[in-house]
Structures are given as structure tokens and as C-alpha cells.
Amino acid sequence: MQLLKTLIATTALVGAATFASAQANPAVIFDLGGKFDKSFNEMSYTGAERFKEETGIEYREFELQSDAQREQALRRFAQAGNNPVVVAGFSNATAMATVAPDFPDTDFVIIDMVVDAPNVRSVIFAEHEGSYLVGVLAAMASESGTVSFVGGMDIPLIRKFQCGYTQGAKAANPDITVLATMTGTDGSAWNNPVKGGELTMSQIQNGSDVVFAAAGGTGRGVLQAAADAGIYAIGVDANQNYMQPGTMLTSMLKRVDVAVFNAFNDVNNDEFTAGIQVMGLAEDGVGWALDEFNEGLITDEMKAAVEEARAKIISGEIVVADYMADNSCPVE
């Protein structure tokens, strides 16, 4: 009994302390899978590090070990006065929706998912737009008239990549064949480079000469197999052009790092806005990578075509269908 009374008293004290602090004191939570997953957790980290470098302000971080810690992590940082609290990953939506209303003075940011609360910014990426652009490049680079796609786990988000890619390829060349394969149906599909390589080999045998990998760690195997067979490959999320120089046509960029950096920076400059923030081509949230590793592969004609498509998508002249809007794709 005595112990419980002490517990309650302490709870009340900690509760009261919540109101004390309100300075820019950012925190970032990494999802299951870890900080260095070569995917969005690592890009969150990159964005947070950039903020630290530019402003000299330290940030706090937490790597989730268990699904049961999601709420705790958000709550713990909010109670400690951290602001903003940023988390990447759709699985955190439920926890965010529960915690955010309890801390109206804290700014929360969730990436890849929408949570409707007055103090939450939901950042979502228009992956279909970026995929469309690399689809255009793929179709123009292809000599065989067949390009392909290797997805990680078969989830709507990955089909969104696939659907955008197919639309772009068909726009550049209506007669093109697009082969698509998903690596698997469970979490291991994100980290199975051997299978990724095998799938790529089979697509090459079926005539593909450009492959786009949206498959997390599995993508490494795809890029490797493409390099071994001497065909072009397209990376995803981060700029992966450096991984197989010479055969990397480009990479479809998804700038999670920018989202994290902006969130930190906006709070620091007192410019934070809640609500849905779509990071599409217009916001430079998605895009295609051009650097010293692939500049020899991108002809002026390709560059012109892809920039034209980009401008038309931004202006609204081209509307890229979003698979996740109605779970269907207008092209095969």
C-alpha cells in the first residue's frame, strides 16, 4: 500500500513537471529494425545529424525494441520536454493518436502515415511520382523493350512504387513490357539479397534490361545481379548510385532525412505547422538521383524527357495514379 501511495505521489509530481519546459529540444524515435537499416531509419538519423551539425543543438534518440514501447517512447520524450518528437514508420500511428492529445504543447511528427490531431504533422511521400520519373528513364534506357521491378514485401506501399514505375515506363514507350515480382510476404522479404538476385536473374532471362528495386536490403542483391549481368539497375530511398557504379541508371529518392530535418528546424525557428504535408516532386520530397556515378548513362534526351515529365506532374498536367488511393493500378 505504502509503495503504491508513493507511486501515485510521484506520478502526480512528474505530471506537474510536464508544463515546465518548452524550448527546441528535438527527439527522434527509430522503428523496429534499428537505426542503421539502410532505409528510412537511417535516413531519419541522417536528417537529425544534419540538424545537429548545422545548429549545434543536440537531439535525443530511442531505438524501439518492442511494439509495446511505442506509446512509452512518445510519452517519455514528451514528458521530458522534448520538442518536436519525430517518428518514422506507419506502425506508430495508433500510439501517436493516443499520446498526442495528452501533450497539446508538444509538436509531434509522424512520417509515412497520417494522424489527425492539432499538434501532429503527418509527412507522407508521393512515391508514385518519383517512381514515375525513374519509369520514364528505364523505358528510354531499355533496348530490349522489357523492364522490370523487384519489390520487397508485398504490401500496398510497395505496389504504389510499382504502379508509378509502370505508368512512367508506359508513358515513355507504350509498347514496353514491365515485369514485376515481389520478394515475399513477410518481413524477411526486406532483407533477402540472395533471393533478390535470383529474381533479377529470372527477369533478365525474360528479357529485362533495366530493373528497379524497391526492396530494402534485398535491393543489394538486385543491384549486384544487374551489375553482374551488365544491365541497368535503379536504387531506392537513398541515393544508391555509388553501390554499383557503371550499371546504376539512377535512384528513386525518398527524402525522409529532409522531413526529419525540416521538422527539427521548423520548431527551432518557431515555424512549425501541423497537418498533412505531402512531400512530392514539387517539394523535392521525392526525385531521381543524378551524380558523377550515372551522368554518363543519362543522355540529354533522357534528361529532357524526365525533366519535362517532372514539370508536368508538378503543374498537374500529368496525374500519376496512386495505388494506395483505391488499391488498384490503372496499368498492368
Partner 1 sequence: MNKNLPKWVDLGLIPLLTLMLAFAVSGLVVLSIGQNPIEVVKVMIQGAFNPFGIGHTLYFTTNFIFTGLAVAVAFHARLFNIGGEGQAGLAGVGVALVMLSYDWPHWSIALIVGTVAAMAFGAAWAAIPAYLQAKRGSHIVITTIMFNLIAGALIGYLLVGPMQAEGSLPESAKFPSAASLPTMYDMLGWFGIGFDKYAPVNISFFLALIAAFLVWVLIWKTRLGYEMRAFGHSEKAAVYAGISPLKITMIAMLVSGALSGMMAVNTVQGEAERLLLGAVEGAGFIGIAVALMGRSHPVGVVLAAFLFGILTQGGAELQFTLGIPAQMITVIQALIIMFTGSLENMVRIPLEKIFLNAGKRGRA
User: Site residues (CB under 8 A) for partner 1?
Assistant: 4, 7-8, 10-11, 14, 32, 60-63, 65-69, 71-73, 75-77, 79-80, 90-91, 98, 153-157, 184-189, 324, 327
Q: Which is nearer to partner 1, 182 or 226 (CB)?
A: 182
Residue corresponding to grid cell 506532374: 313
Element (H, E) at 268: helix 256-268
Strands (E), the chain: 27-30, 60-63, 85-88, 108-111, 120-125, 146-153, 177-184, 210-214, 232-237, 248-254, 275-279, 286-288
CB of 28 to partner 1, least distance (A): 12
The DSSP bridge pattern shows strands 286-288 and 248-254 to be: antiparallel
* Cα(45)–Cα(111) distance, integer angstroms: 13
CB atoms within 10 A of CB 196: 29
CB of 324 to partner 1, least distance (A): 8
* Cα(314)–Cα(193) distance, integer angstroms: 35
Q: Which is nearer to partner 1, 32 or 179 (CB)?
A: 32
CB of 275 to partner 1, least distance (A): 22
CB of 186 to partner 1, least distance (A): 2
How far separated are the first and last CA of the chain, in Å rounded? 66
* Cα(305)–Cα(307) distance, integer angstroms: 5
* Cα(27)–Cα(48) distance, integer angstroms: 9
Q: Which is nearer to partner 1, 236 or 305 (CB)?
A: 236
Which burial class, exposed, middle or buried, applies to 73 when counting CB atoms under 10 A from its CB (0-12, 13-18, 19+)? buried
Q: Which is nearer to partner 1, 12 or 276 (CB)?
A: 12
Q: Which is nearer to partner 1, 123 or 133 (CB)?
A: 123
Q: Which is nearer to partner 1, 40 or 293 (CB)?
A: 40
CB of 113 to partner 1, least distance (A): 9
CB of 254 to partner 1, least distance (A): 16
